[in-house]
Structure 1
Amino acid sequence: MSTSAEPRVSGLEVRSIDYVPLDERHGKLWHLGPLWFMSNAQIATLAVGLISITGGGNLIWSLLAIVAGTVIGTFFMAFHSAQGPQLGLPQMIQSRPQFGYLGALLVWLFAYVQYAGFNVFNSVLAADSLHTTLHGSVKLWVVVVTVVALVIALVGYDIIHKAERILTYTFLVVFGIFTVGVLVTLHYPAGSFDLGAFKWTPFLAQFGVVAGYQISWAIYVSDYSRYLPPDVTVRKTFYWTYFGSALGGIWLMVLGTLLAAWAGKDFDTIKSIDAAGDKVFSGFGAIVLLFASLGLVSVTALNMYGGSLTLISGIDSFKRVRPTLAVRLLTLALTAALSLVGALAATANFLANFNNFLLLVLYLFIPWTAVNLMDYYVVRRGHYAIAEIFNPRGIYGRWGWHGIIAYVVGFAVMIPFFSVGTLYVGPAAKALGGADISLFIGLPVSALLYWWLTRSLDVAAETRLALAEAAELERAAHEHREP
C-alpha cells in the first residue's frame, strides 16, 4: 500500500487520457477496495439479481448462480486494475496497441453506449427513490441527480475515491441493518431452498447476466488506479479490486433475488425496498432509499467520468487533443446532456428491458477483455511504448488487425449461443433449451486467436523504444500540465 512522495495538487482534475507522470502519482492501494465495493453496492445492481427468479428458477439456485457469475466475471475485470499504475493511463486508451490508433474507435463506441445506458437507468432509479421519499417531480430529480453527478465528475479522480469511501462506511451500517431485516422478517415461497428443483435455463441466464455485469466494469478499471505509483504489486492491486467489486456485487444481487422471491409478481425495486425496510421499523424504508439515491449519484458520476475519457479518446483519433480542464468540462457536459435526455425520455419498457441491455454489454465486451488481457499479460507482458499510443503514425499503426480480427471472430462465434429474452435466441442456445453459454465460447476464442496472430510481434524492440522514450514522456507530461 504505497504512496508517492509528492501529494497531488488540490483542485479540479486536469488530466484525462494523457500519461500521469511519476511525481503526480499518489493514493493508497486499499482505496480501490471501497471504490469498487460501493460502485457495485448500489440498488441498480439489484436488477441484475432478478432474471432467474423471473425466469422460473427457485431462490437457492438463483443465489448460487449469482455467486458463480460474480466469482468468474470479476476475475477478468480485476486483472485490468494493475494496468493503471503500470501504464499511468486510463482504461480505454490502452486499446490502441491491440486495435490501432483508429481501430480502437470500434470498442470506444460500444463503451460510450454502455456509459450512457447505465446512466439512464441509474439516474431514473435515483429520481424514483427521491420522488418516493422527498416527493417532487421525477423529472426534476433526474435533473438534480445529473447536475450533482456532473460536479463530482468534474472535480475528478480524488473526490470520486473519497466519496466512495465515505459511502462505503455508511452503507455497511444502513444496508447491514436492512439486510438483517430482509433475512429475518421476509417469508419465501415453498420450494425456495429445494436443491432438487434445478433448471438449466434460468440458472445460466442468471449466471450470464451477472458475469456480464461484472465484466462490464472492465472498461472503467484503470481510470481509478492510474494515479497510483507504479511500484504497487499486481497481486495486491488485483485483490483490492476483486474483493471490493465481488462483495459489493454479491451483496446487492442477493438482496435483489431475496426481494423478488418475497414480492413475487408484485416486485418493484423502489416499492419493494420501501416495504421491506418498513418491516424493520416504520420509516426505515425511506432511509434506505435516501441513502441508495446517494449511491446512484456516485455511480452516475463514475459513468460520466469514464464517458468523458472515452469521448476524448475518440476525438483524439481524428484531431490531437491537448488535455486541459476546458476539454474535460466540454466532454463531461456533453456526456451528462446525452444521459439527461435519455433519462427524461426513458419509458417503463426501457427499464423493464434492462436485463437485455446487460446481456448485450456482455456480448460486446467479452472479446475485448479477452484481447486486452491476453495482450497485456501474455503477449507484451506489460511492456508498452506509451508515447507511441498517442502517435497516429506510431508503431501500433492506424488499424490493429490482430486485435480487430480476434474481436470480430470471437464475437461471431458467440452469436449462435446468444439468448436475449424475446429479442433473439441463437440455434445453439435453442438446442440447449435456451441456456446461454456464449461467455465460455467468446473468451477463449478471442484470446487464443489474438495470441496466435501476434506470435511474430517484436516485443523486445517495443520495450527498448519504451525505455528510450521514458525521459521524454515524463518531460512532455509536465509541459502539458496546466498552471
Structure 2
Amino acid sequence: MAASENERVGTVETRGIEPVPDAERRGRANQMFWTWFAANISILGLPLGAALVSFRGLNIWQAAVVAILGSFGSFALVGALSIAGKRGGAPALTLSRAVFGVRGNAGPTLVTWLSRLGWETINTTTAAFALLALLDAAFGIRRNTVLTVVCLLVFIGCTLLISGLGHATIMWINRWASYLFGLLNLVVIAFLATTVDWDKVFHAQVGPVSSMVVGVGMIAAGTGIGWANTGADYARYLPRRIPGGRLVAASAFGAGIPLVVLISLGSLLAAGEPSLASASDPVSAINTMLPSWMSIPYLIAAFGGLLLSNHLSVYSAGLTMITLGIRVRRTLAVGLDVVVTFAGGIYFILIAKDFYGPFITFLTLLAVPINAWVGVFAVDLILRRSYDGAALMDVGRSSRYWFRGGIAWAAMIAWAAAIVVGLLFTEASTSATDVWFSGPLAHSWIGSNGLGWVVTLLLAAAVYAVLRRFDGTVRDEASGQAPQQQVLPAPAAQELS
C-alpha cells in the first residue's frame, strides 16, 4: 500500500490497526505539538480552573502552579507513552496486546473505549450548548427539544467527517484550525480578563498545600491521564528515527500552553463568579459574562475547540473498538462510536439535571484502571526493545503474544491488584449527599489528599516489574524466543482490521 493512499489530506484512510511499515512513515515531532494543542483549546479548561478556587480554596498563584504541574506533567507522560507508537507503528491498545496478551488485553481495551465515549459525550454535549447559544445570540432562535437534537447532529456530523477521513486529514486540520480557533480564544480571553475582580484575586487567602496536591491530581485526571492510552495512535505514522525526547517535549508544550492559560483564567473568573465551577451549562455561564457583540466569536471558538478535541477522541475510539474485537472497518467503527455518543448527548442535555457532577464522577472512577494500565505499560515500554507486527495481528494460539491461555498473567495480576488498591482510596460523588462510590480508605490521608491515582500507577508499575521476572512466558517473549504455547497445533485467528 503506497504511503500516499493513507497520508493524503482529504482522502479516506484505509489503514486499520495493523502496524504502519517504515516505508510509509512520514512527519516530524512537532505534529504531536499541534495534536495536543488542538485537543486542549476547548473551554472545558475554564471550569477546571474555577473548581480549583471554588472547591479547593486555592488562590490564583497556587492555581497557576497546579495548572502547570498537572497539565505539563500529565502530557509529558502522554508523550512518553506515544514512543510506543513510533516504535511499533500501531495504536496504543493494539500494542498493549504485547503486554497483556491477546485475550488479557480485552480488559484495558474496554476501559479505554468507555473512557473515550465519556469524553466524546462531554464534548458533544458542551458543543451543542455552544451552538444553541450561538443561534440565540446571532438570530434570536430560542432553544427547544428539536433544535437541541439538530445541534447535536450537526456537531456529530462534523466529527464524523473529520474522523472518518482519518490520520492525514486530522493532522492537517489540527495545525491550521489551531491558528484560527486559538486566535479567537485569545480575543475572548483578553476580554474576559477585563471582567476579573482583581481586588478579590489579590486578597484571596492562601489555600492548604494538601489542596494543591488534590488539584494537581484533578487537573492531571481531567486532562493528560484521559489521553495517556491514546498517544501512540497519533505517533504511529512518525519515523522511528525521531528521538523520543522530542515527542515528550512536543506533547507537554502542545497541551500545556493552552491548558495553563485556560485553567488560570478559569481560576481568575471564579473569584467573581464562584458558580462557574458547578454550572450545569458552562458555555452559557461564561457567555453571560460577555456583551452581546463578544458572544458570537466566543461561541464559535467554543464550538471549534470542542470539535478539534472530539475528532481525536472519536478517531482513537474507532481504533480501540477494532482492537476490542469488533470486526469492522475503521470508518464503520467511527460511525458506530458517534451513534453511542449521540445517545449520551441526548441523555445529558434532555434528561440529566447535573452536567459536571457526572463528568467528574466518571473521570474519577475510570482514572483508576487507566492509571493502572499506564503503570504496567510504562514499565514494559522501558524494558521492551521491539514489537512483532505479525504477532500483534494474530489473536490465536500461534501468536507470540498468546503467553498462557492468551493472557500475560504478570501484567494482568499487576493491573487488577492496582485497581483494587486504587479503589480503596477513591470516592466518586456529585455532591456531599450523592456519593456513587466510596472506598474504605477514601478518607485516609492518601485518599483525602487525592493521591490514590499516584498509588495506583506506582503500585501497578512496581508489581509488574517484580512479577515479570518470574513469568517464564514473558521472559521468553522478551528474549525473542517463541513462547512454549506456540507449539500447540491450533490455527491462528487473523483479525480483520
TM-score (norm 1): 0.86
Residues 424 and 66 of structure 1: CA distance in aligned 2, closer, same or farther (over 3 Å): farther
- In structure 1, the residue matched to 2:492 is none
1:41-440 maps to which residues of 2 (within 5 A)?
Answer: 41-60=41-60, 61-135=62-136, 137-188=147-198, 190=200, 194=204, 197-199=206-208, 202-213=211-222, 214-265=224-275, 268=279, 269-278=282-291, 282-315=292-325, 327-346=329-348, 347-377=352-382, 379-380=383-384, 382-391=385-394, 392-393=396-397, 394-397=399-402, 398-421=406-429, 422-432=435-445, 434-440=448-454
Residues 460 and 233 of structure 1: CA distance in aligned 2, closer, same or farther (over 3 Å): farther
Residues 244 and 66 of structure 1: CA distance in aligned 2, closer, same or farther (over 3 Å): same
- Deviations along 1:306-360, one digit per CA (max 9) or x if unpaired, are 11111111116xxxx5xxxx61222111111010011112123244321222222
Q: d(CA) in 2 for partners of 1:266 and 1:350? A: 12
Displacement of 1:272: 3.5
Structure 2: segments with no counterpart, 5+ residues: 142-146, 430-434, 483-495
Q: Is the Cα contact below 8 Å between 2:188 and 2:297 reproduced in 1?
A: no
Q: Is the Cα contact below 8 Å between 1:98 and 1:402 reproduced in 2?
A: no
Residues 447 and 23 of structure 1: CA distance in aligned 2, closer, same or farther (over 3 Å): same
Q: d(CA) in 2 for partners of 1:48 and 1:190? A: 19
Residues 349 and 272 of structure 1: CA distance in aligned 2, closer, same or farther (over 3 Å): closer
Q: Is the Cα contact below 8 Å between 1:47 and 1:355 reproduced in 2?
A: no
Q: 2:156 is paired with a residue of what secondary structure?
A: helix
Opposite residue 285 of structure 1, the aligned amino acid is: S
Q: d(CA) in 2 for partners of 1:17 and 1:222? A: 11
Opposite residue 18 of structure 2, the aligned amino acid is: D
Residues 465 and 416 of structure 1: CA distance in aligned 2, closer, same or farther (over 3 Å): closer
Q: d(CA) in 1 for partners of 2:276 and 2:306? A: 23
What value does the CA root-mean-square deviation take over the aligned residues?
Answer: 2.5
Residues 45 and 348 of structure 1: CA distance in aligned 2, closer, same or farther (over 3 Å): farther
Greater mean alpha carbon deviation, residues 252-261 or residues 161-170: 252-261
Opposite residue 150 of structure 1, the aligned amino acid is: L
Displacement of 1:407: 0.6
Aligned residue pairs: how many? Answer: 450
Q: Is the Cα contact below 8 Å between 1:368 and 1:407 reproduced in 2?
A: yes
Q: d(CA) in 2 for partners of 1:32 and 1:169? A: 15
- In structure 2, the residue matched to 1:28 is 28
- In structure 2, the residue matched to 1:472 is none
Q: Is the Cα contact below 8 Å between 1:58 and 1:192 reproduced in 2?
A: no
Residues 286 and 59 of structure 1: CA distance in aligned 2, closer, same or farther (over 3 Å): farther
Q: Is the Cα contact below 8 Å between 2:81 and 2:228 reproduced in 1?
A: yes
Displacement of 1:451: 0.9
Structure 1: segments with no counterpart, 5+ residues: 467-479
Residues 145 and 372 of structure 1: CA distance in aligned 2, closer, same or farther (over 3 Å): same
Opposite residue 452 of structure 1, the aligned amino acid is: V
Displacement of 1:453: 1.1
Q: d(CA) in 1 for partners of 2:425 and 2:76? A: 22
Displacement of 1:30: 1.1
Q: 2:318 is paired with a residue of what secondary structure?
A: helix
TM-score (norm 2): 0.84
- In structure 1, the residue matched to 2:464 is 450
Q: d(CA) in 1 for partners of 2:467 and 2:203? A: 48
Opposite residue 79 of structure 1, the aligned amino acid is: A
Displacement of 1:118: 1.0
Q: d(CA) in 2 for partners of 1:6 and 1:159? A: 14
Greater mean alpha carbon deviation, residues 201-210 or residues 184-193: 184-193
Opposite residue 468 of structure 2, the aligned amino acid is: T
Residues 293 and 389 of structure 1: CA distance in aligned 2, closer, same or farther (over 3 Å): same
Q: d(CA) in 2 for partners of 1:402 and 1:349? A: 41
Q: d(CA) in 2 for partners of 1:35 and 1:429? A: 35
2:455 to 441, 449, 452: 441
Q: d(CA) in 2 for partners of 1:274 and 1:445? A: 43
